[in-house]
Structure 1
Amino acid sequence: MHKEGERLIPINIVDEMKSSYIDYSMSVIVSRALPDVRDGLKPVHRRVLYGMYGLGVFSNRKYLKSARIVGDVLGKYHPHGDTSVYDAMVRMAQPWSLRYPQVDGQGNFGSMDGDPPAAMRYTEARLQKISDEILADLDKDTVDFQNNFDDSLTEPTVMPTKIPNLLVNGTSGIAVGMATNMAPHNLTESINAIVAYIDNREITIDELMKHIIAPDFPTGGIIYGYDGVRDAFHTGRGRIVLRAKVNFEEIGNRNAIIVTEIPYQVNKAEMIARTAELVKDEKIPGIYEIRDESDRNGLRIVYELKNDAIPNVVLNMLYKYSSIQTSFSVNNIALVKGRPEQLNLKDLIHHFVDHRHEVIVRRTEYELKKAKERAHILEGFMKVIGTQDDLDKAIAIIRHSANPAEAKTGLINEFDLSDIQAQSILDLRLARLTGMELDKIRAEYEEIMNLIKDLEDILANEDRRFEIIKNELIEIREKYGDERRSEIDYSGGEMSIEDLIPDEKVVLTISHAGYIKRTSLSEYKVQSRGGVGNRAATTRDEDFLEYIVAATNHQYMLFFTEKGKCFWLRVFEIPEGSKTSKGRAVQNLINIAPDDKIKAYIRTNDLKDVDYVKQMNVVMITKNGTIKKTSLEAYSRPRTNGVNAIEIRDNDQLLGARLTNGSSEIMIATKNGKCIRFPEEKARAVGRGSIGVRGISLDEGDEVIGMIVVDDVQNETVLVVSEHGYGKRTAVEDYRITNRGGKGVITLNITEKTGNLIAIQMVTDDDGLMIINKSGVAIRMGMDEMRVMGRNTQGVKVINLKKNDSIAAIAKVEMDKDVEEIEEEAEMENLEITDGEVTIETEVTPTDDAGVPEDETAAADDGEEDNDSE
């Protein structure tokens, strides 16, 4: 029964549900879940900032209780639950949630482990310095205001922000029928892109991407692959794969994977707990223990591995199953003029610049209005107190008036003033009527007129307005810009990585204990012969650098182990390290057996080039003098666990491997100073599984120390170096061609002073030489400083060694033309005093060639083939 006078309106329930649901969804879309494209804020965040602005808790004021701020926002602008306001404010203060936090919180504001913040009665907050820029000029009529929920106050519909907040902080929100998920970006990069857009409105997205390279997440990490980034910038949608920042360490006698940065929005505690479960269920084998060693200095999660685990394999399992690899699905949806739109990078920049332009126009109009009002008042002052007579007249009018209204009317009639001018005269303090003050009023008037002229020029000139936007942005960049935190690993996607990695010259170093790194060649500087060198690498106790090779990033490296296996890496895949860093254990890069060691490396060009691999050969030498030649094609299809390169017999090991072109000559040197030279065709090409043939016959106690390949007999020379720092260059022709398998001829007179022969290299005048001592000192010198001398001599002192030091390795490097300016400094270092003596060049008098019967060298010239396995 309904009461008398009531009207019942029958409504179709389907229509009612439709309209109610549409109203609700529009409300969620427009005033809850989606940010405005201009200031990047949702209503709750805008209200928190405006509430704090109203309370005056700026970055230079003292903190205010969070409950006080929340209460103010709740009571004045945001009629929802207090938790919604407090949670929004807490997130605005978390440095791992926002790339550039807007609230400066004091107290417990939660953690990356998902711990809740303390209750709002315990915490305090104020605005961050950067938020002052979001609120800048709010009082200059730059934005529209609207009534609050009960029409008792007004609030801004958008902030006049100088910060491209939507770009730099991103946002996420779930509306009805749509969602948004926008990535944060680096402020410096974003402003560079916006400035480039202002300079050229026709700029393409690809050109913008030269400035704003990729998203930049507050928690750092690595963006793995670039395709998703490109999609997101071009279309507003894209899937970006994020990886934790990982490195390997040795803890005690175990290998460990150390995570120092985790992907954005990953809960650290949950991630560790989930990984522990996977380890327990044996989904991820090889992990011995997981520890969270994070502290106030930074994040550090330790995955300690079992002794038999291969770090790279475990790491790949972690990427696959745990959240140290996640993805961030970009979906750029924001409100443009109150309607949700999907936006690409250029759209975002365009809307922000438009907003800034409108703010500048409105601010200038406001300042112009204020300036004109002030000028109007100053004109009144000058009419009334311009001369002594006028002033006396005005004072007389005021004195003889019965009340202020009469005085005002009198002034208006006498001096032809407006109401405002007359009131300002009446409000003047007597002190302003002195002569000095009058001068000040005239100066202020002049200043105001200049300002009005300038402001009118800004309003008339669009180019000037855009120049102002640009300058203000550059100022913001100088103030708040920082380095990017997220690295980009371009190799992760389908994209060709070579396009993104410059093909620059690098030096690869491998230490005796198997640590490898690549260093830009420019880090090494040139010194003259006889210099003492500068510190090259910090290695572990009793470790020293054993191999050095010059390469470029796009080349390939083949690694040959002493057990006869071959592994394969691109040069850019070898981790970069500074000149003084230790590098990474090779075991972590390739799956080499624990008891094996890399003994040779070959730098090759593109292994996918069929003609190249068919034309080139790999020649290998073992310690006992066995030589083997195989076509490079046999090594052009790498396998993760390596391929067999040569069968190694007992008490032998692979010593070196070199690339030949089919018509090269081979020279093999031994510890006792012997050397043999023969054409490479004397060793015919065999398959990968063969043993090889005799290359040189050895005396008792002698062993092979190296092999070189000669391609240009006229210009190339043979360099040999002994362990105590003696060396010399000899013409190749000084060594006669013999058959393989002979004993060879003397190459350096070995004495106690010279020490055993340790290295043989093929050099020309254009080459440089890198010498590394066992103490870790490196010296780089030009070969043009060493003259070519006879074969059977002791040579010259190549490097001055301190007591008990000896040479560990030498390598040929190309001399870099860009380092000439360092040569003067190098010459200064040449005179450095070592062990109380001035370093000078020393040359040893050559002994007579005839002193050694050369005939003994021909003893086996007919070439023994007793270990020829073919």
Structure 2
Amino acid sequence: MADENKPEDLSDNNQNPDAPENQDTGSAIGGYDVDLPIEQELAESYLTYAMSTIVDRALPDVRDGLKPSQRRILVAMNDLNLTPGRKHSKCAGIVGETMKKYHPHGDGAIYPTLVNMGQEWKTRGLLIDKQGNFGSIDPDPPAAMRYTEARLHRHAVEMLEDLKLDTVDWQPNFDEQYDEPRVLPAKFPNLLVNGSTGIAVGMASSMPPHNLSEICDGIIAYIENHDITLQELLQIIPGPDFPTGGIICGRAGIAQAYATGRGRVTVRAKIHHEEKKNGRDVLVVTEIPYQVSKNNGIVDKIVQLRKNDKLTDIANIVDESSNRGGMRVVIDLKRGGDPHTVENQLYQMTPLQSTFSIINIALVRGRPETLGLKQLISLFVEHRIVVIRRRTAYRLRQAQQEAHRIEGLIYAVCDIDEVIKLIRSSRTRDEAIEKLMLRGFRIPTDHPAAPTIPDRFLSQSADNDVILTKVQAEAIGRLQLIQLVGLEIETLVKNYSKLLEQIEDYEDILGSHTRVLSIVKDDTLELKNKYGDIRRTEIQEGEVGELDLAALTPVEQVVVTITHAGYVKRLPVEQYKQQGRGGKGVIGAKSKDDDFSEQVFVASTHDDLLCFTNTGRVFKIKVFEIPEAPRTTRGRAIINMLNLQPNERIREFMPISDFEKSEDFLLFATKLGRVKRTALKEYRNVHSGGLIAVNLRDGDSLIGVTWTSGEDHVLLGTQNGMSIRFNENDARLMGRTASGVKGIDLKSGDEVVGLIKVPKDCEAELLTVTENGYGKRTDTSEYLVQAADGPKPQGRGGKGRRDIVVNARNGNVVSLQLVSEEDDLMLITREGMIVRINAGTIRKTARNTQGVRVVNVKADDQLISIARIAESDEDDADDTDSTESTAE
């Protein structure tokens, strides 16, 4: 008999067949020892830990842009119904709910995550609507969670919309008592707008925030053209838009990051110069780089450098920031200190200039991937397509089930006496349900309610009796007595017809990829209209030794079109096929009723476009910055590309290829009759924030700008019908910031409404129109003064001569244009009426006449403007030499 205390002898049959030969087997019953290299064991264990950290903690999902902790907080707040219309709730309760149901990692991990989603200097599109002390950019820490309160922000509500409509997959929570979503439906493009920062094991993610309006435009552009290029996307989404503003220096890092998923951008603070009453210069910091603290990062560093005598021109630094006034850090300079030098020193030695590393790593189907801009947009659109299809399928199922239930009710109500008799004859509810399911139902064509019932329910033959399902029978069993009245059939039929329409619509959506994309596009446009705002971060060209976008843009000739409403686009010249003389041409843009092409020119992609505004400022953009758009579209509103102030409008667009031409000048005219002539080269250095083109006096505004060659005449027209024509050289050359000299002596209440350049030997005619719809064409030679030695212009600054009679019939002059008989014109009234006429149909008369009726204007309306239609709106763009700016 074997000894029970003796260990069992392990035979070969008991050993692990996969164990290596000659291994030492253990003495434990049923077990064995396996020798493994320690490198292998560490690698396997570390890889398991690393993947757990990557997937479950540090990296965001590309679909909703959230890490698990962020997603669980939002879901917990949604469970608590903390929507924007509800009262704020204690953060301690939110943290407790999150920890209890979804995230068992302690409040030390949950509360800081909650706070970060509600700090406006960290998050471009807030997800948490905070109340209480959530810290500051100084940086001050937030108050304890027992003191602060929060609720979901509207952006977060968009993230959670349709969560209960089977739009995403769910999984059990940590203790399998609740289910949590694997991802949110995310109508709001959170990852693209807010970015993400996280350090995993062996990798890190650093994704920048962007402007919501630009991201929405980029998504729409991708939906409309899946083959959109990165270059085209860069025209729509020029770069990151940090919540703290600042200035991004150069575009090379942006282009590299958007193309490869990795790049570096240099971000500077916004600093401007001021002068105190005592004459001392100060530097004022109003915006700082992203993720840089104001006090610990900037103020303390400047104080330290000043103490170490590295910033010797700084006398003092004062933080004047406030919740109302925003950020304002004032740096006082010593007497004689050069503000520009000190500013550059601050950029070099302090975090006022910092580098933001872009590392676009996110989870794609559970795996970390490095993504470019187009990939990020594409994956978000794919997610929204899945969500919309699943939502529609869910609604279809619900509608089909409801329609199925109502079908049974219609049969029952039409045969209600038999149904009541059958139910009363049953002893139990289950027996009644079973009898209903066994009985055949039909509605004869002579039934009193037949005219209101769809034909598919009507039948005369018993062979076509309908057998109710259990769902329908139970629905009949739940009918209340009051619902058995005759009118209930009309309500049932109405609801049934409505459900059929919904079912048909849902099936159409599921069967049409185009409709699904249209819904994604509409949702995106709705987001832009509801939450879109202006860009905060400025992007400068070619700063700090970086390459700019021009280095990535090939030099080519393009056709630039600008509409009357201020929409601009460019298109390669090759898109316009050459035609013979007399051809019909191609459509340059499908203009809307209230818009038309007003200016067309051919330029190089590396040329500049000067934009002069009514406030006397000038902006400069590169032609390659103008978005390339199909020939039949209007393009993009140029006001979205410039940093315009409220009520600031563009008066003149001017393409420039060379600022150094000595024979080119710019002549400005203002409403109060002043003119200024300045060399074109004075405007070669215009920064993105705009530059003063002409200093305007109080109450004055810029009404026009024209280039001159040094041998041209200038004609000014006033609203009271006066005009003056003088030689441009009568206005001496002045500096860029000069306010100009008197161009015409205006009577009280009069103002200049038109500036016309009259070239030497001009054969065109001057068209003048008044607010009541009258006007005339007049030879420009009539505006010369007859002298003994021949016609000559007047002298600058005179009262001028009568151009058109201004009286009760005509009203005031509103506009002047240099035209020929072949030109087409658009006449625009205050009430929005637009009339197109040919200039040749307007009678040609002498100066100092009343003119003729040009357009019928209603008694309560007035003509406000005329504009010449650009030729390439109907003619071939290869004939645009006549419209190409001679400033080139």
Asked whether the two chains share a fold, i.e. TM above 0.5, the reply is yes
Matches within 5 A, 1:7-22: 9=33, 12=36, 13-22=38-47
Say if 1:341 and 1:391 are closer, same or farther in 2 by CA, change over 3 A.
same
- The sequence identity of aligned pairs, in percent, is 40
Equivalent AA in structure 1 for residue 292 of structure 2: V
Say if 1:759 and 1:399 are closer, same or farther in 2 by CA, change over 3 A.
closer
What SS does the corresponding residue of 2:282 show, helix, strand or coil?
strand
What is the aligned partner in structure 2 of residue 320 from structure 1? 348
Q: Does 1:409 align with 2:427?
A: no
Q: Does 1:495 align with 2:542?
A: no
Equivalent AA in structure 1 for residue 389 of structure 2: V
Q: Distance in 2 between matches of 1:468 and 1:479?
A: 16
What displacement does 1:710 show?
12
What is the aligned partner in structure 1 of residue 402 from structure 2? 374
The partner residue of 2:314 within 269, 272, 287 is 287
Q: Distance in 1 between matches of 2:433 and 2:755?
A: 94
What is the aligned partner in structure 1 of residue 173 from structure 2? 148
What SS does the corresponding residue of 1:146 show, helix, strand or coil?
strand
Say if 1:37 and 1:786 are closer, same or farther in 2 by CA, change over 3 A.
same
Q: Does 1:93 align with 2:121?
A: no
What is the aligned partner in structure 2 of residue 277 from structure 1? 304
Say if 1:473 and 1:759 are closer, same or farther in 2 by CA, change over 3 A.
closer
Cα-to-partner distance string for 1:44-89 (whole Å, 9 max, x where unaligned):
1110111111111111111111011110111111110212111111
Matches within 5 A, 1:229-268: 229-252=254-277, 253-268=279-294
Say if 1:6 and 1:135 are closer, same or farther in 2 by CA, change over 3 A.
same
Q: Distance in 2 between matches of 1:222 and 1:258?
A: 15
**Structure 1: gaps (5+ residues):** 511-516, 525-531, 537-544, 558-568, 584-604, 606-708, 718-726, 733-757, 763-767, 802-814, 828-870
Equivalent AA in structure 2 for residue 153 of structure 1: Y
Number of equivalenced pairs: 613
Say if 1:533 and 1:225 are closer, same or farther in 2 by CA, change over 3 A.
closer
Say if 1:241 and 1:348 are closer, same or farther in 2 by CA, change over 3 A.
same
Q: Distance in 1 between matches of 2:728 and 2:690?
A: 38
Equivalent AA in structure 1 for residue 322 of structure 2: D
Q: Distance in 2 between matches of 1:292 and 1:759?
A: 48
Q: Does 1:483 align with 2:511?
A: no
What is the aligned partner in structure 2 of residue 47 from structure 1? 72
What displacement does 1:7 show?
5.8
What is the aligned partner in structure 2 of residue 747 from structure 1? none
Q: Distance in 1 between matches of 2:479 and 2:179?
A: 34
Q: Does 1:576 align with 2:682?
A: no
Q: Distance in 2 between matches of 1:790 and 1:122?
A: 92
Asked if the contact 1:770/1:778 (under 8 Å) is kept, the reply is: no
Equivalent AA in structure 2 for residue 272 of structure 1: V
What displacement does 1:786 show?
6.8
Q: How does the TM-score come out when normalised to structure 2?
A: 0.62
**Structure 2: gaps (5+ residues):** 1-25, 441-466, 551-603, 618-643, 654-668, 699-706, 715-723, 735-739, 759-782, 801-815, 820-824, 831-847, 849-888
Cα-to-partner distance string for 1:717-758 (whole Å, 9 max, x where unaligned):
9xxxxxxxxx997999xxxxxxxxxxxxxxxxxxxxxxxxx9
Cα-to-partner distance string for 1:769-827 (whole Å, 9 max, x where unaligned):
76599xxx997866876748799x9x9782689xxxxxxxxxxxxx9979x999999x9
What is the aligned partner in structure 2 of residue 798 from structure 1? 797
What SS does the corresponding residue of 2:123 show, helix, strand or coil?
coil
What displacement does 1:534 show?
4.2
What SS does the corresponding residue of 2:542 show, helix, strand or coil?
helix
What displacement does 1:401 show?
2.0
Q: How does the TM-score come out when normalised to structure 1?
A: 0.63
What displacement does 1:399 show?
2.3
Say if 1:716 and 1:320 are closer, same or farther in 2 by CA, change over 3 A.
same
- Say what the alpha-carbon RMSD is for the aligned residues: 4.4
| Residue range with higher mean Cα deviation, 312-321 or 422-431 | 422-431
What is the aligned partner in structure 2 of residue 80 from structure 1? 105
The partner residue of 1:207 within 232, 254, 257 is 232
The partner residue of 1:333 within 347, 357, 361 is 361
What displacement does 1:8 show?
7.3
Equivalent AA in structure 2 for residue 117 of structure 1: P
The partner residue of 1:429 within 477, 480, 498 is 480
What SS does the corresponding residue of 1:307 show, helix, strand or coil?
coil
The partner residue of 1:301 within 326, 329, 351 is 329
The partner residue of 1:459 within 490, 494, 510 is 510
Q: Does 1:384 align with 2:435?
A: no
What is the aligned partner in structure 2 of residue 587 from structure 1? none
Asked if the contact 1:728/1:788 (under 8 Å) is kept, the reply is: no
Say if 1:716 and 1:180 are closer, same or farther in 2 by CA, change over 3 A.
closer
Cα-to-partner distance string for 1:239-278 (whole Å, 9 max, x where unaligned):
1111111211112211111111111111011211111111
What SS does the corresponding residue of 1:83 show, helix, strand or coil?
helix
Say if 1:91 and 1:503 are closer, same or farther in 2 by CA, change over 3 A.
same
Q: Distance in 2 between matches of 1:3 and 1:53?
A: 56
What is the aligned partner in structure 1 of residue 189 from structure 2? 164
Say if 1:790 and 1:89 are closer, same or farther in 2 by CA, change over 3 A.
farther
Asked if the contact 2:399/2:502 (under 8 Å) is kept, the reply is: yes
Say if 1:571 and 1:167 are closer, same or farther in 2 by CA, change over 3 A.
closer
Q: Does 1:110 align with 2:135?
A: yes
Asked if the contact 2:252/2:549 (under 8 Å) is kept, the reply is: no
Say if 1:505 and 1:442 are closer, same or farther in 2 by CA, change over 3 A.
closer
Larger Rg computed on CA atoms: 1
What is the aligned partner in structure 2 of residue 128 from structure 1? 153
Q: Distance in 2 between matches of 1:85 and 1:262?
A: 28
Q: Distance in 2 between matches of 1:824 and 1:460?
A: 47
What is the aligned partner in structure 1 of residue 373 from structure 2? 345
Q: Distance in 2 between matches of 1:84 and 1:823?
A: 62
Q: Distance in 2 between matches of 1:371 and 1:73?
A: 34
Q: Distance in 2 between matches of 1:824 and 1:455?
A: 46
What is the aligned partner in structure 2 of residue 444 from structure 1? 495
Say if 1:581 and 1:534 are closer, same or farther in 2 by CA, change over 3 A.
closer
Cα-to-partner distance string for 1:450-487 (whole Å, 9 max, x where unaligned):
11111111111211111111111111111111111111
Q: Does 1:359 align with 2:387?
A: yes
Say if 1:535 and 1:770 are closer, same or farther in 2 by CA, change over 3 A.
closer
What displacement does 1:570 show?
3.3
What displacement does 1:184 show?
0.8
What displacement does 1:200 show?
1.5
What displacement does 1:188 show?
1.2
Say if 1:570 and 1:64 are closer, same or farther in 2 by CA, change over 3 A.
closer
Q: Does 1:395 align with 2:420?
A: yes
What SS does the corresponding residue of 1:484 show, helix, strand or coil?
coil
Asked if the contact 1:368/1:455 (under 8 Å) is kept, the reply is: yes
Say if 1:436 and 1:349 are closer, same or farther in 2 by CA, change over 3 A.
same
Equivalent AA in structure 1 for residue 512 of structure 2: N
Q: Distance in 1 between matches of 2:689 and 2:167?
A: 54
Cα-to-partner distance string for 1:691-724 (whole Å, 9 max, x where unaligned):
xxxxxxxxxxxxxxxxxx9987xx889xxxxxxx
Asked if the contact 1:535/1:580 (under 8 Å) is kept, the reply is: no
Equivalent AA in structure 1 for residue 247 of structure 2: I
Q: Distance in 1 between matches of 2:513 and 2:33?
A: 57
Equivalent AA in structure 2 for residue 280 of structure 1: K
Asked if the contact 1:769/1:782 (under 8 Å) is kept, the reply is: no
Q: Distance in 2 between matches of 1:67 and 1:140?
A: 30
Matches within 5 A, 1:821-860: none
What SS does the corresponding residue of 2:427 show, helix, strand or coil?
coil
